[in-house]
Amino acid sequence: MKEKGWKEIPLGGLILEAGNAEKYATGGWRTYRPVRDEKKCNDCLLCWVYCPDSSIIVEEAKIKGFDYEHCKGCGICSAQCPKDAIEMVEETKFVLQEKGEQ
Amino acid sequence: MGKIVGLTGDETAAEAMRQINPDVLAAYPITPQTEIVQNFSQFVANGVVSTEMIRVESEHSAMSACIGAAASGARAMTATSANGLALMWEICYIAASYRLPIVMPLVNRALSGPINIHCDHSDSMGARDSGWIQLYSENCQEIYDNLIQAIRIAEDKEVLLPVMVTLDGFIISHAMERVEILEDEKVTEFIGEYKNPYSLLDVDNPVTWGPLDLYDYYFEHKRQQIEAIEKAGEVIQRVGKEFKEISGRSYELMENYRLEGADLVIVAAGSTAGTVKAVVNQLREEGVKAGLLKIRAFRPFPVREVSQALKNAKAVAILDRSVSFGAEGGPIFLEIRSALFEEAKRVPVVNYIYGLGGRDIGIDEIKAVYKNLERIAQTKKIEKLVGYLGLRE
């Protein structure tokens, strides 16, 4: 999202458009990333119920994955999962992987 | 025709508020502000105003209630003093940053401690960076006039900022003076209606108030506030001219009192300006070219107007009724000395801290200041940059 100048934004920090938090990527705040073990998961959808950031992607009552643009890595999904199917993995691991390091 | 009455400063503020007839008044009592709200609550009880009065449990809640009301599209007011203002501090910043045109009489009183109920400007000066417009009043008439103009200034579309109108505790708040009151209809017509374009109660056009605002937009919102308070300078002048049309009394950002050809100038804000005027008149009769620059708007500070008014003086003394601990001089002094830096000719400027905790200031003290200015003008030497008036050694 292109950031606007001070003359273009509403006064007083008001948000005039409902639901625009979706446009604000907060995934960068994450330290731990939820990773799902598809074999353990039984699609009970408790994680979807509990997620405070609506970041569990569900299609036709099946979990498809996480919305990493908005997931802040709070770990609630992992904590409540009755099948222990969600592991919280440190983000640095993925960064190192992308760089081709161990 | 309006009427001429005898009122104390607090009664005058209440009378102005009766005519303003705000939708909401939320307040908590504190000396010497108490009589404003006490008198106003009588108006509410008698049904003379249609105001919803909220008796809150603290000043923090008073300002919070005003914010909720103003964001809902109501014209909201409160009043306080000293520690009351200190308790609403956090919320004062929020009122300004949400751009809510709340108007508040502030009865100047020394901040504790040690505890003191009398006048100085430590309360309002402490809140100088909160984003509020500040108008200082010299007497009861100015309290009345400033409060009515404050509504228009605050609610101007280019401004949308809260305004505090100050009056010196006890000296003005509890002293009875002659006050000219306009007809109710004239005031109603002058202030018009408050319409917040984004009301919380407008369910057809829902908006979010007070969301998190981080490093990516907070700075831009502060820049908007800077723009608004700068614009307020022009608006204060425009509203002052319009107010003259209905009252015959004109108002600027500051008042030049016998400044034409004045060599020795005192700068003061609040009730002391009245005492200085009396001294200026005496000295002028004696052939001394004395003058007064009275600060009305401290925020926004009229930098260009002040330096224009002072640049030809031979010596200037700035009277500050508050201390900025650890700074070289009081808040008004620092402001003016900085403003004069742009002038090609260097004007000698000294500072006097006076009147803390209600310490009286009279004709003799002010004469002594002019005497010192005379010496500075002759010798071109400043012996003491910051002095204390009426302090025992």
For the beta carbon of residue A67, count every other beta carbon within 10 angstroms.
16
Are B97 and A12 an interchain contact pair (Cβ–Cβ within 8 Å)? yes
B338–A contact, CB cutoff 8 A: no
The Cα–Cα gap between B171 and B181 comes to: 21
Q: What pLDDT tens digit does each residue of chain B (393 aa) get? A: 799 999 999 999 999 999 999 999 999 999 999 999 999 999 999 999 999 999 999 999 999 999 999 999 999 999 999 999 999 999 999 999 999 999 999 999 999 999 999 999 999 999 999 999 999 999 999 999 999 999 999 999 999 999 999 999 999 999 999 999 999 999 999 999 998 889 999 989 999 999 999 999 999 999 999 999 999 999 999 999 999 999 999 999 999 999 999 999 999 999 999 999 999 999 999 999 999 999 999 999 999 999 999 999 999 999 999 999 999 999 999 999 999 999 999 999 999 999 999 999 999 999 999 999 999 999 999 999 999 999 999
CA–CA min distance B108, chain A (Å)? 28
Contacts of B94 in chain A (CB under 8 A): none
Smallest Cβ distance to B209: which of A3, A6, A14?
Answer: A14
Contacts of B209 in chain A (CB under 8 A): 12, 14
Smallest Cβ distance to A12: which of B98, B216, B227?
Answer: B98
Are A13 and B206 an interchain contact pair (Cβ–Cβ within 8 Å)? no
Identify the CA nearest to B107 among candidates B18, B17, B1, B10. Answer: B10
Q: How many residues does chain A have?
A: 102
pLDDT of residue B327: 97
Q: Please name the residue that has the structure tokens 């751009």.
A: B99
Q: SS3 sequence, chain B? A: CCEEEEEEHHHHHHHHHHHHCCCEEEECCCCCCHHHHHHHHHHHHCCCCCCEEEECCCHHHHHHHHHHHHHCCCCEECCECHHHHHHCHHHHHHHHHCCCCCEEEEEECCCCCCCCCCCCCHHHHHCCCCCCEEEECCCHHHHHHHHHHHHHHHHCCCCCCCEEEEEECCCCCCCEEEEEECCHHHHHHHHCCCCCCCCCCCCCCCCECCCCCCCCCHHHHHHHHHHHHHHHHHHHHHHHHHHHHHHCCCCCCEEEECCCCCCEEEEECCCHHHHHHHHHHHHHHCCCCEEEEEECEEECCCHHHHHHHHCCCCEEEEEECCCCCCCCCCHHHHHHHHHHCCCCCCCCEEEEEECHHHCCCCHHHHHHHHHHHHHHHHHCCCCCCEEEECCCC
What are φ and ψ of residue B51, in 5° steps?
-70, 140
pLDDT of residue A1: 65
What separation, in Å, do the N-terminal and C-terminal C-alpha atoms of chain A show? 33
| Residue B20, Ramachandran bin (φ over 0: left; ψ between -120 and 50: alpha; else beta) | alpha
ipTM of the complex: 0.89
In chain B, ranges of CATH 3.40.50.970 domains: 3-247
What CATH architecture is B254-389?
A: 3-Layer(aba) Sandwich (3.40)
Interval A13-38 mean pLDDT: 92
Smallest Cβ distance to B220: which of A9, A14, A16?
Answer: A9
B207–A contact, CB cutoff 8 A: yes
Q: B65 near B54, Cβ under 8 Å? A: yes
Superfamily classification of domain B3-247? Thiamin diphosphate (ThDP)-binding fold, Pyr/PP domains (3.40.50.970)
> Residue A102: pLDDT band by 50, 70, 90 thresholds?
low
> Residue A45: helix, strand or coil by DSSP?
coil
Looking at per-residue pLDDT, the higher value among B103 and A23 belongs to B103
What are φ and ψ of residue A36, in 5° steps?
-95, 135
Rounded to the nearest angstrom, the gap between the alpha carbon of residue B213 and the centroid of all alpha carbons in its chain is: 30
In chain B, ranges of CATH 3.40.50.920 domains: 254-389
Count of A-B CB contacts under 8 Å: 45
The Cα–Cα gap between B272 and B321 comes to: 9
Are B211 and A18 an interchain contact pair (Cβ–Cβ within 8 Å)? no
Smallest Cβ distance to A11: which of B160, B206, B210?
Answer: B160
Sheet (strand B24-27) strand order: B52-55, B24-27, B76-77, B103-108, B163-168, B133-136, B297-299
Q: State the DSSP code for A3.
A: P
Contacts of A14 in chain B (CB under 8 A): 198, 207-209
Q: B237 near B250, Cβ under 8 Å? A: no
Reported pTM: 0.93
Q: Which helix (H) or strand (E) holds A75?
A: none
The Cα–Cα gap between B161 and B100 comes to: 6
Half-sphere exposure at residue B264, Cβ-oriented, CA atoms within 13 angstroms? 25
CA–CA min distance A70, chain B (Å)? 16
pLDDT of residue A20: 85
Rounded to the nearest angstrom, the gap between the alpha carbon of residue B39 and the centroid of all alpha carbons in its chain is: 21
Q: What is the pLDDT of residues A2-18, one digit of tens each?
A: 899 999 999 999 999 88
> Residue A59: helix, strand or coil by DSSP?
strand
From residue B358, give the alpha-carbon distance in Å to each of B44, B82, B110. 32, 13, 8
Q: Please name the residue that has the structure tokens 């949400």.
A: B98
Are B207 and A13 an interchain contact pair (Cβ–Cβ within 8 Å)? no
Are B209 and A12 an interchain contact pair (Cβ–Cβ within 8 Å)? yes
Smallest Cβ distance to B220: which of A6, A14, A15?
Answer: A6
B206–A contact, CB cutoff 8 A: yes
